[in-house]
Structure 1
Amino acid sequence: EQELQDTIVKPISLIRVHDSTTEATSYYVEHVRRYLIKKYGSEVLYQGGLKVYLAMDLNFQTNAHEALRKGILELTKRQGYRGAQNRDIPDNNSLIQETADENSLQFDSMFLENIVSGVVNEVSDEKVTVKLGDSVGILEWSNISTWKNGELIKDERPTPITNPSEIFAKGDKILVRLEDFDSKRNYFRLQLYQEPLVNGALLAMDPKTGEVFSMSGGYRFGESEFNRAIQARRQPGSSFKPIVYSAALDAGFTLSSELIDSPRAYATGTQTAGDAEIWTPKNYGDKVIGKVTFRTALVKSLNLPTIGLCEELKPEQVISYSRRFGISAEMMKNLTTCLGSLSVTLQEMLSAYGVFANQGRLVKPIYVLKVEDQDGNILESSVPELQQVTSEETAFLMSNVLQDVVQRGTGRRARAIGRPSAGKTGTTNDSVDAWYIGYIPQLLTGVYVGFDQPRNMGKSETGSRAAAPIWISFMKNAVANLPTEQFPQPPGITTIKIHKSGRRATACDKNDDIHEEHYKSGTEPVLDLSVSGNCMMAVKSAEKVKEESETEL
């Protein structure tokens, strides 16, 4: 009885429980909420008892959220540790669990995986001891060494950390993640944490129906509701090239068409200090190959032959063609457009790639499957909106080349998902924006990474390094329960053997000099009769010599 009375009078203590699902779904749910308010009004939405069915797959959504956060944190490590909080005053982080008293921490903050603020108590070569209120934590060198030193003067690059004392001193106030608790030694194992300045987005959908399975519009919704998947307009760089090459296929080019990879120079029509301004585009790494095939130019993401292709097609034709793929951005009627100088959203680019994944059909993204009122009446129901914007044959050929990008081009990292996929990287000048868009027959996923205020992310932070690992992390989980499917080959495709010179192969060609290539039926190279005739003569001569030698024996 006394225990009951004591319990009754005892104040109720609330412990905050972190709901990872709410955080993971925030961008998607907010996008739908705004749509519903615009269509039905806030009163109906909040008081009308609506039932809203989303296209979201919760497992995909949580995996997308975690993959994006993980990738952004890894990039933050490479960009370098910026220093202790008391030496880095600006801090926009509202999630950090701390009180006004630096020597104490709230009880409800001491859950594993939480980010807390602590004070460095001791620094040695192997570890850093951190005071966490009444508790103690250890930052081990194995974790510290994964970071770079970002306490730099302007224009310097982050450098490797060789000793904890380079970035820590006693009394430093730092942020750490509670990784584990050692009950025997009574301390927390910690991971160094720093609020990222860079951000990004991930979007995944069914390329056949347009149903959006997951959308993560940024690192943390609580800090910024700006949805980088649908609101941020950034330059796609080389991820725009497949649209250019698709336009070329529809204009009569083939995968074995010869392009020229050589230096180019163009007058811009403007002057600098009285001199005519000259634009001299370059390939990544400043290398040139010479003659290359259409396929190789896209697989290696070569800028110079792409510009040559754009000259033949004309920028106006490329712009008009991209409109069919759902690209609505303003585009300059010059050659830079073919290198991705326009500004687009991730959703636009994903929908455009969906054309290749969906046999030439453009599909509108679907977030809401169905809305019912409180009585069960259906107010709206979504069905796929499909539009054939290019042929099945063109879509197949582009998917085939983009599979080659994964096998031997700039998308090689994507082989890590362990099944056939197609994809393309995108990197803008000075590594300001990084993209990777890739797909399997059942799932199309795009990733964008960059600063909200555009600036350099760091040397070599390309689409392959900054964006593709996020795509891989998400796709590995997403494909786990999906069957492996091949991209279907339409009947209007002819596959033949081609000599490395570009002509049709003959029986006399060495195996190392020939390969198979796909063509729209009727566009494949015809057999060169002079080469074929000489080959047949050589074959007959060899057979005659063989017969005579056997007769003599």
Structure 2
Amino acid sequence: MAKKKKTKSNPFKPFIKAFWILFLGGVLSIALIFLLASWGVFGEMPTFERLENPQTNLATEIISSDGKTLGKFFLEDNRTDVPYSELPENLVQALIATEDVRYYDHSGVDARGTLRAVMFLGQRGGASTISQQLARQLFVGVRSKNVVEAVLQKVKEWVIATRLERNYTKEEIISMYLNIYDFGYNADGIRSASRIYFGKEPRDLKIEESALLVGMLKNSSLYNPIRREELTLERRNTVLAQMEKYNYITESERDSLIAQKMDINFNPENHREGLATYFRMYLQRWLKNWISENPKPAMEGERDTWNIYLDGLKVYTTIDSRMQANAEAAVQDHMKRLQAEFFHQNTPDRNPTTPFLELTSDEIRSIINRAMKSSERWRAMSRQGKSEEEIRDSFNKQTEMTVFDWNAPTREKDTVMTPLDSIRYYKTFLRAAMMSMEPQTGHVKAWVGGINYRHFQYDNVIQGSRQAGSTFKPFVYAAAIDQLRKSPCDALPDTQYCIEANKYGNPEPWCPKNANGKYSGQSYTLKRALANSVNTVTAQLIDEVGPRPVVSIVKNLGLTREIPEVPSIALGTPEFSVYEMVGAFGAFANQGVYVKPVMVTRIEDRNGTVLYEYTPETKDVLSRDVAYAMVDLLKGVTEGGSGTRLRHTVAKENHVYKEVVTGYPYEFSNPIAGKTGTTQNQSDGWFIGMVPNLVTGVWVGGEERATHFSRIDYGQGATMALPIWGLYMKQNYAMPELEISLADFEEPEDLSIRIDCNKPLEEEEENQELEDDLEELDF
């Protein structure tokens, strides 16, 4: 029997077996690692619901009536999502060319890129796809410095990236990634970054601007155009080179774009800068009140109250960004010049008690002491347990600080002074407030609460109330015309007039004087008397009609605070805010119908669901005839009274008029109704001006009533407040698209109140006709 041949054993068999064991074991191990990661063994993984609705904090956006973003409310995340359709093509191309060139070919993990990164240890680029980077941003967080933890984090990124790819389109992932990235300087997301670094919306970005922002994605702290211009420029050019490499731009386009400098238009977004700062802070308080009265629909795992800093609400306001910019520019232009004149008059040599007038040293100490105790320094040191003596001592120590300065390019200067001196320094500045409203709708179009929100945070539009002065007189005239059927053509003498004691509860006789202390003895029509603010005529009117009907009309016009029913209110002793006064005057322009001022028209959540829509609040207060008669009276102010400088340049030869008025040739020729106002000692200057579809009120004065001009020609409303109205309207009329009316006010049909004082009374005409007839009959 033949023996079987022995087969020679393969010496490599053990190695081959070992290889396959290791290979399969490695594959199974990797698969197991991925499986364990997906089960959450290495840390919590997002649920399907979270993948469908990843929760990112979104800032509340404040939107103007003309569709512009006025600002945002946020704590840490100044983020507003932008859909893919609003991203420019060049931005998407720059992103793909630089971060993930095979983005449209993989399903979350780029195998080629990963293999390259492993083989060359990351020297030829990383392997993170856009989907992986989004996964890290949304669900994983900062990369750990521990090697094992970093590897496990990477595994989680791969798993989440593939899940994201299954749940979202490629376009949605790109928009989510760009919307979530932090570009620095509160530029959270591509929309904020576009606005902050270039002052434009993402859809308007140029190629080189998109390249700069994409370059920042590598490290926004390192590649920051504000702090590291040269480094950021190099990174931008690298992105442009990548775009040329992958044929998104030509070589000549690349060279041309690389030769360009960075054109940064830095617009930091924070709560103390930007457009409509005072209005935004008012709106913040308004929203908090709205939230307290409107609970959030209950959703599992979510808060039961709205959060204006996290929930991405969209607040649609009545503010027009163009008119707001015009208003702020008008306040800045005039107040800088007015303040220069105030400083000129109130040097320590000319006024030892500067910036106060007519105060004793004890009264001044009281003002300063009150300011110290209400300061943030006092509150902070009190919280630290410091004694009052320690706190007071701190106010006398030299301190480095940044203060407001009209002449500094940024309106700020660095200086060294004691906190006590800084209090006195800030008391020298005159303040201003301005509000502009459409009388037919109540829509507030512009809101300026002060001269600089960073340094003067008190909002004089709605928080501050000051004596109205002569701007109150129209309410007295309105009551007389409404109750007594007076006419603008009725006449009263300008002679001393006294209302006897106890007639209306006043203990002593009331005998008001005119501003100049004189009585002309002339007979004034009501129109001429109001135009020239003749106090004696106003006193006679309130005596005839009585204080109670005046107070009744005033309250129906939205001035709801307590007003004493005494004759002296006729000269404007009650205190009101600019907000209230503009609303009240709006009824005259709106044919007697009061419309409560409104600032918010609609609120939506992040998904566009409407949460709030306003309902107008209106009240019929005056008949159309009475309202039109009041408009006619107020037109007289700008035709022949204290507001006539709106019609031409005032060329008065003194310092303040050269600085403040001359050079502002308003030269308006259209119908304007308005009223100036000046309070005792020139502490407050007012002007409220109206055209048919816009009512605007302006107030100017010091924080303390003792801070004022010493003479009336400097401190009257026509000099302090009226120029702001003139500058504002001049700029508005330069923008025809705003459609500010140049027409006359609409006259009611069958007007029953005599308006044209040059036209004979109907009764006189009838008597003349009768006389003519009798003459013909030879009687």
Q: TM-score, normalised by structure 2?
A: 0.49
| 1:115-168 deviation line (CA, Å, top 9, x unaligned) | 54699xxxxxxxxxxxxxxxxxxxxxxxxxxxxxxxxxxxxxxxxxxxxxxxxx
- Give the aligned partner of residue 307 of structure 1: 539
2:322 paired residue among 37, 59, 73: 59
Two-structure CA RMSD over aligned residues (Å): 4.1
Q: Comparing 18-27 with 476-485, which one deviates more in the overlay?
A: 18-27
- Give the aligned partner of residue 257 of structure 1: 490
- Structure 1 residue 362: deviation in Å? 0.4
2:341 paired residue among 63, 78, 86: 78
What SS class does the counterpart of residue 47 from structure 1 fall into? coil
Distance 1:51 1:540, change over 3 A: same
- Give the aligned partner of residue 342 of structure 1: 574
2:310 paired residue among 47, 52, 62: 47
2:750 paired residue among 480, 492, 510: 492
- Give the aligned partner of residue 467 of structure 1: 721
Give yes or no for contact 2:487–2:753 (8 Å, CA) kept in 1. Answer: no
Q: How do 1:116-515 residues align onto structure 2 when only pairs under 5 Å count?
A: 116=413, 197-251=429-483, 252-266=485-499, 279-289=510-520, 290-415=522-647, 416=666, 418=668, 419-455=670-706, 457-458=708-709, 459-460=711-712, 461-480=715-734, 481=736, 482=739, 483-493=741-751, 515=758
- Structure 1 residue 456: deviation in Å? 5.0
- Structure 1 residue 350: deviation in Å? 0.5
What SS class does the counterpart of residue 598 from structure 2 fall into? coil
Give yes or no for contact 1:451–1:457 (8 Å, CA) kept in 2. Answer: yes
- Structure 1 residue 495: deviation in Å? 8.2
- Structure 1 residue 31: deviation in Å? 0.8
Q: TM-score, normalised by structure 1?
A: 0.68
Distance 1:35 1:304, change over 3 A: same
Q: Distance in 1 between matches of 2:273 and 2:722?
A: 26
Give yes or no for contact 1:207–1:358 (8 Å, CA) kept in 2. Answer: yes
Structure 2 segments unaligned to the other structure (5+ residues): 1-214, 228-264, 293-304, 356-367, 373-398, 417-424, 648-665
Percentage identity across paired residues of the two chains: 29
Q: Distance in 2 between matches of 1:413 and 1:344?
A: 26
**Which amino acid is 1:54 matched to?**
T
- Structure 1 residue 493: deviation in Å? 0.8
Where relative contact order (Cα < 8 A, 6+ residues apart) is larger, the structure is 1
* Count of aligned pairs: 427
Q: Distance in 2 between matches of 1:283 and 1:497?
A: 26
Give yes or no for contact 1:359–1:395 (8 Å, CA) kept in 2. Answer: yes
What SS class does the counterpart of residue 202 from structure 1 fall into? strand
**Which amino acid is 1:309 matched to?**
L
**Which amino acid is 1:449 matched to?**
V
Structure showing the higher strand proportion among its residues: 1
**Which amino acid is 2:744 matched to?**
Q
**Which amino acid is 1:472 matched to?**
G
- Structure 1 residue 437: deviation in Å? 0.3
- Structure 1 residue 280: deviation in Å? 3.2
**Which amino acid is 1:400 matched to?**
D
What SS class does the counterpart of residue 309 from structure 2 fall into? helix
Q: Distance in 2 between matches of 1:456 and 1:112?
A: 26
**Which amino acid is 1:292 matched to?**
Y
**Which amino acid is 1:426 matched to?**
G
Q: Comparing 398-407 with 530-539, which one deviates more in the overlay?
A: 530-539
1:527 lines up with 2:767 in the alignment? no
Give yes or no for contact 1:396–1:490 (8 Å, CA) kept in 2. Answer: yes
Q: Distance in 2 between matches of 1:315 and 1:8?
A: 66
What SS class does the counterpart of residue 697 from structure 2 fall into? strand
Q: Distance in 2 between matches of 1:19 and 1:393?
A: 51
- Give the aligned partner of residue 505 of structure 1: none
Give yes or no for contact 2:556–2:619 (8 Å, CA) kept in 1. Answer: no
What SS class does the counterpart of residue 527 from structure 1 fall into? helix
Give yes or no for contact 1:238–1:426 (8 Å, CA) kept in 2. Answer: yes
Q: Distance in 2 between matches of 1:44 and 1:206?
A: 31
**Which amino acid is 2:278 matched to?**
Y
Give yes or no for contact 1:447–1:471 (8 Å, CA) kept in 2. Answer: yes
- Structure 1 residue 427: deviation in Å? 0.7
What SS class does the counterpart of residue 674 from structure 2 fall into? strand
Give yes or no for contact 2:494–2:536 (8 Å, CA) kept in 1. Answer: yes
Distance 1:198 1:375, change over 3 A: same
| 1:320-362 deviation line (CA, Å, top 9, x unaligned) | 1211111112222211111111011111110110001111110
Q: Distance in 2 between matches of 1:115 and 1:217?
A: 19
**Which amino acid is 1:211 matched to?**
H
Distance 1:538 1:389, change over 3 A: same
- Structure 1 residue 246: deviation in Å? 0.9
What SS class does the counterpart of residue 231 from structure 1 fall into? coil
Q: Distance in 2 between matches of 1:24 and 1:199?
A: 18
Give yes or no for contact 2:489–2:754 (8 Å, CA) kept in 1. Answer: no
Give yes or no for contact 2:428–2:707 (8 Å, CA) kept in 1. Answer: no
| 1:11-69 deviation line (CA, Å, top 9, x unaligned) | 96845956599443111111111111121158521222211111111111111112112
Give yes or no for contact 1:417–1:476 (8 Å, CA) kept in 2. Answer: no
- Give the aligned partner of residue 179 of structure 1: none
Structure 1 segments unaligned to the other structure (5+ residues): 93-99, 120-192, 270-275, 503-514, 518-523, 542-553
| 1:177-218 deviation line (CA, Å, top 9, x unaligned) | xxxxxxxxxxxxxxxx99961101000011111111110001
Q: Distance in 1 between matches of 2:725 and 2:755?
A: 34
Q: Distance in 2 between matches of 1:349 and 1:241?
A: 12
- Give the aligned partner of residue 131 of structure 2: none
Give yes or no for contact 1:329–1:342 (8 Å, CA) kept in 2. Answer: no
- Structure 1 residue 226: deviation in Å? 1.4
Give yes or no for contact 1:23–1:220 (8 Å, CA) kept in 2. Answer: no
Structure showing the higher helix proportion among its residues: 2
- Give the aligned partner of residue 110 of structure 2: none
Q: Distance in 1 between matches of 2:453 and 2:722?
A: 22
